[in-house]
């Protein structure tokens, strides 16, 4: 074969080798799969007291006006799965909600921890007018003990489990707002100023633990306390974003209202999720 033929043959082979690469480059790219968003947690994530409950959620009291549903509605296109449930503890989330994560989960929010410390019992023992100082002190002391000795290990175990169930997902962990105005605008039926102050201090300690755990697991922490400032129980009339005692639906007592979900929780969660 002449040298000219050999050079031509080599050029032809080289062109054939490059052709598949050109075809791949020219071919339209497949659309990215929708990123699924999953909400996990307790009644603060479910939206107890926000109303408009999903009938299918039963006693979980999942509201279409809770921050997870509001964020999902503002970001259509991906699948939304809400597993948050009234009364859930970290163990309930790990063993009951987490196994229901669908494939393709790309974003997870979590609000949990208060029920592990018996917050609802502390509310009853501290914020009703006729309870004694000793009963309130005992309830808050018990919550502080659980916060110190039990919750750190449970939270760490839960976040590890979420990482394994949804590797690579963006995880946002929220704290809790102050439920109460320690210095009330006027007469306040919810305990004494000293009780309200200590209750808020326990909330701060819970949030500090959650923030540390989130940082240790490379998750974002969404802190609602500043947004809720001035909007707790016994705030000026019309400014409360936390319910007081709801006699006809006691499970809605001391939970964020529609405004609390939309203007307290949603902005900080949206910021942590990136929009």
Q: Which of 2, 43, 57, 231 is catalytic?
A: 43
* Percent of the chain residues topping a pLDDT of 90: 63
DSSP tally for the chain: helices H, then strands E: 11, 5
255 labelled catalytic: yes
Which domains are delineated in the chain? Answer: 38-273 (3.40.50.1110)
- pLDDT-based confidence at 120, cuts 50/70/90? confident
Beta-carbon contacts of residue 225 (< 8 Å; ≥ 6 apart)? 175, 176, 177, 178, 203, 204, 207
Dist CA 59 CA 68 (whole Å): 18
For the stretch 229-238, pLDDT in tens is 999 988 888 8
Confirm if 275 and 268 have CB atoms less than 8 A apart. Answer: no
- The gap from C-alpha 247 to its chain's centroid, in whole angstroms, comes to 27
Q: What is the dihedral of CA 221, 223, 86, 132, to 10 degrees?
A: 130
Q: Please report where in the chains the tokens 């929009």 appear, as a residue.
A: 275
- 62, with CB counted inside 10 A (0-12, 13-18, 19+), is buried
When pLDDT is averaged across residues 63-78 and rounded to a whole number, the result is 95
Confirm if 102 and 79 have CB atoms less than 8 A apart. Answer: yes
Write down the pLDDT at residue 9.
Answer: 44
For the stretch 163-173, pLDDT in tens is 999 998 999 99
Of the given ranges (15-19, 96-100, 251-255), which has the lowest mean pLDDT? 15-19
57 labelled catalytic: no
Residue spans of beta strands (DSSP E) within 120-192: 170-174
- The gap from C-alpha 8 to its chain's centroid, in whole angstroms, comes to 66
When pLDDT is averaged across residues 120-125 and rounded to a whole number, the result is 81
Whether the predicted model's global pTM rises above the 0.75 cut: yes
Q: Please report where in the chains the tokens 């001391």 appear, as a residue.
A: 254
Confirm if 147 and 206 have CB atoms less than 8 A apart. Answer: yes
CA-derived radius of gyration, the chain: 25
Residue 147 scores a pLDDT above 90: yes
3-state helix, strand, coil in the chain (%, to 5): 50, 10, 35
The CA distances from residue 203 to 8, 26, 42, 131, 196, in Å, are: 79, 57, 15, 20, 11
Q: Which of 57, 178, 231, 255 is catalytic?
A: 255
Dist CA 256 CA 259 (whole Å): 7
- pLDDT-based confidence at 40, cuts 50/70/90? very high
Beta-carbon contacts of residue 78 (< 8 Å; ≥ 6 apart)? 34, 35, 36, 37, 72, 106, 107
When pLDDT is averaged across residues 199-225 and rounded to a whole number, the result is 96
């Amino acid at each position: 074969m002449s040298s000219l033929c050999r050079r031509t043959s080599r050029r032809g082979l080289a062109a054939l080798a490059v052709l598949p690469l050109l075809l791949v480059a020219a071919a339209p790219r497949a659309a990215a799969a929708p990123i699924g968003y999953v909400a996990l947690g307790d009644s603060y994530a479910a939206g107890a007291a926000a109303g408009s409950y999903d009938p299918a959620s039963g006693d979980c009291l999942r509201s279409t006006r809770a921050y997870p549903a509001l964020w999902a509605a503002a970001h259509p296109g991906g699948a939304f799965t809400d597993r948050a449930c009234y009364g859930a503890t970290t163990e309930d989330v790990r063993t009951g909600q987490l196994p229901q994560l669908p494939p393709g989960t790309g974003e997870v929010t979590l609000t949990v921890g208060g029920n592990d410390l018996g917050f609802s019992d502390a509310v009853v023992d501290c914020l009703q007018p006729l309870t004694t100082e000793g009963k309130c002190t005992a309830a808050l002391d018990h919550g502080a003990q659980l916060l110190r000795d039990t919750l750190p290990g449970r939270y760490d175990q839960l976040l590890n489990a979420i990482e394994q169930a949804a590797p690579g997902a963006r995880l946002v962990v929220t704290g809790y707002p102050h439920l109460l105005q320690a210095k009330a605008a006027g007469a306040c039926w919810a305990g004494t100023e000293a009780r309200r102050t200590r209750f808020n201090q326990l909330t701060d300690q819970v949030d500090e633990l959650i923030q540390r755990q989130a940082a240790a697991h490379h998750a974002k922490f969404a802190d609602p306390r500043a947004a809720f400032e001035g909007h707790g129980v016994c705030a000026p009339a019309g400014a409360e974003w936390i319910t007081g005692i709801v006699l006809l639906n006691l499970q809605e007592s001391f939970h964020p209202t529609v405004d609390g979900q939309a203007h307290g929780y949603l902005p900080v969660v949206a910021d942590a999720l990136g929009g």
